[in-house]
Amino acid sequence: MARVIQLRRGTTAQQDNFTGMPGEVTYDTEAKTLRVHDGVTLGGYALARVDDADNVGTGDAFDINSVPDEFWANIVAKHAPVGIRVYESMECVVDNTAYIEYAWGGSSSALMAQAVLVCQTPEADYAVGDVVAAFGIGGRANPMPIIYQGRFGLHIRLGIGGDPFWVVHKTTGRTVNITNERWKIKFLIWY
């Protein structure tokens, strides 16, 4: 026996005076449409039917440049993380030691850190100055550094374990062991 899902339903007037739970979908029995609710907006948001949409089949294309700047400012203000800053460390020598560590002054704790390689001499089809996040160490792809608060501030440490570094070749996508002297490593730190 098939299962049936039945949504809350009501007339247009009832729908207009109803605030559904976040993510709730209801059915307007007069307009024969669905409404999506966010838990705040009275009446929710009515979804257009294909036979009722203004531009369906007319060939009119949506022009993103026609969207007012205020719309984008409101979207960014509503959804962008507040107060997050990204800092870059100085470039460090790539070395096959136990680990590479960068001491970052200050007492603030970072939200996240990422290691990237910076090309110094062309290799694996990368040019000087190219920043490469698609790299690995030994059998580990995209290694993430650890962050800890030490006696002299914030520290970012990337475990190497003596393993060789490799990058994903820019054009072939294959992994290629790098020549350490041709690359530098730097850390991106999110506060």
- For the stretch 9-57, pLDDT in tens is 999 999 999 998 988 999 999 999 999 998 889 999 988 877 766 555 5
User: Based on the structure, what is the number of domains in the chain?
Assistant: 2
The domain of 44 spans 1-55
73 in a structural domain: no
Query: What's the pLDDT tens digit per position in 45-101?
Result: 988 877 766 555 555 666 777 778 888 788 777 776 667 778 899 999 999 999 999
Helix (H) or strand (E) holding 16: helix 12-16
71 in a structural domain: no
Q: Is the pTM of this model over 0.75?
A: no
**What are the structure tokens assigned to 73, written together?**
């400012």
How far is Cα 186 from Cα 77, in angstroms, rounded to an integer? 30
75 in a structural domain: no
Question: Where residue 1 falls among pLDDT bands split at 50, 70, 90?
Answer: low
How far is Cα 182 from Cα 186, in angstroms, rounded to an integer? 14
138 in a structural domain: yes
80 in a structural domain: no
